[in-house]
Amino acid sequence: MLRVTDVCKVFESARGTYFALDGVSLTIRDGEFVCLLGPSGCGKSTLLNILAGFESVSGGTATFNNTAITRADRERVMLFQDAGSALLPWLSTEENVRFGLRVRKVPKVDWPATIDKYLRMVSLDSHRAKFPAELSGGMRQRLQIARALAVEPKVLLMDEPFAALDALTRRHMHTVLLDIWRRTGKTIVFVTHDIAEAISLADRIAVMSTGPRSTITRLIDIGLQRPRDMTNPKVAQLFNEIESLLTPDVLRSSERLEVH
């Protein structure tokens, strides 16, 4: 179980103090798929970095299975929007996955079967000799997922992983990810600013307010069967509800942009 309780995050710099997060509380159950949704700059990546152990909290607590998160840990892996720069360009597809196994100190004898398992899971087994530069954007994301899964983490922390993909590839990645989630039972925390993406993927959506002092303003239980029928009137209703939560924030932040 992942839990943040009353978390605050303050960034100190030469320019002064910035209060990014204030009073953020969220409990994520094992095997749950939670989306963090909010306007640009509200602190989604900051919260994900806290869950990963890359950032410390300035106040409150962040725990994984009731133990304080104080550093990065192989039980929680982060996946990024730019898979290309997350992968090792001088290693082939297969070698990128193998790298994860070496890090985890898996006995060498088990490497071939494990590599096959995860490359098959993301349908890259017939592309194993290709280098990242020879893969499409969607294939690179699938390789990033396979490499993360090979470490056998409990939690996938995904920071807008599909934001740079075209709409068709993105939809395909949703199917791939949901299939992997169902088969592996991982906990997934998925950051997006795309309302439809959050509705089609999540068990629950945590909606965040614009910073400074951003917090979770609403937790929405989707409660619809998967695969989600995006023409269901309940989807339109959820979309409008979330949009109305975000719109005043977006307007306020664009007004601020114009002023400065």
Ligand X SMILES: Nc1ncnc2c1ncn2[C@@H]1O[C@H](COP(=O)(O)OP(=O)(O)OP(=O)(O)O)[C@@H](O)[C@H]1O
Residues in contact with Mg ion, total (CB under 5 A)?
A: 1
User: What is the nearest approach in angstroms of Mg ion to the Cβ of residue 160?
Assistant: 6
Question: Given the complex with Mg ion, which of 45 and 96 has the nearer CB atom?
Answer: 45
> If we measure between CA atoms, which residue out of 243, 219, 260, 242 comes closest to residue 26?
219
User: What is the nearest approach in angstroms of Mg ion to the Cβ of residue 42?
Assistant: 9
Q: Of the ranges 42-50, 62-70, 95-103, 116-124, which one interacts with Mg ion (CB under 5 A)?
A: 42-50
Question: Given the complex with ligand X, which of 174 and 193 has the nearer CB atom?
Answer: 193
Q: Considering just the CA atoms, what is the radius of gyration of the chain in Å? A: 19
Residue from 23, 31, 41, 84 binding ligand X (CB under 6 A) = 41
45 lines the binding site for Mg ion (CB under 5 A) = yes
> What residues form DSSP beta bridges with 204?
34, 221
Tokens 């934001």, located at residue: 163
Q: How far is CA 69 from the centre of its chain?
A: 17
CA torsion angle 70 73 78 84 (round to 10): 120
76 lines the binding site for ligand X (CB under 6 A) = no
Residue 13 contact, options Mg ion, ligand X, none, Cβ 5-8 Å cut-off depending on partner type? ligand X
Supply the DSSP string of 94-134, one letter for each residue: HHHHHHHHHHTT--GGGHHHHHHHHHHHTT-GGGTT--GGG
Residue from 3, 24, 33, 43 binding ligand X (CB under 6 A) = 43
Q: Are 139 and 96 in contact (CB under 8 A)?
A: no
User: What is the nearest approach in angstroms of ligand X to the Cβ of residue 18?
Assistant: 5
Residues in contact with ligand X, total (CB under 6 A)?
A: 14
Residue 67 contact, options Mg ion, ligand X, none, Cβ 5-8 Å cut-off depending on partner type? none
Residue 117 contact, options Mg ion, ligand X, none, Cβ 5-8 Å cut-off depending on partner type? none
Q: Which helix (H) or strand (E) holds 84?
A: helix 83-86
User: What is the nearest approach in angstroms of ligand X to the Cβ of residue 130?
Assistant: 30
Residue 70, Cβ density class (10 Å: 0-12 exposed, 13-18 middle, ≥19 buried) = exposed
Angstrom CA distances, 191 to 13, 25, 63, 80, 202, stand at 26, 16, 19, 10, 11
Q: What token pair was written down for 27?
A: 């409990």
Q: Are 27 and 3 in contact (CB under 8 A)?
A: yes
Residue from 8, 10, 11, 31 binding ligand X (CB under 6 A) = 11
Residue from 53, 138, 161, 211 binding ligand X (CB under 6 A) = 211
13 lines the binding site for ligand X (CB under 6 A) = yes
Question: Given the complex with ligand X, which of 11 and 111 has the nearer CB atom?
Answer: 11
Residue 80 contact, options ligand X, Mg ion, none, Cβ 5-8 Å cut-off depending on partner type? none
40 lines the binding site for ligand X (CB under 6 A) = yes
Interface residues with Mg ion (CB under 5 A) are 45
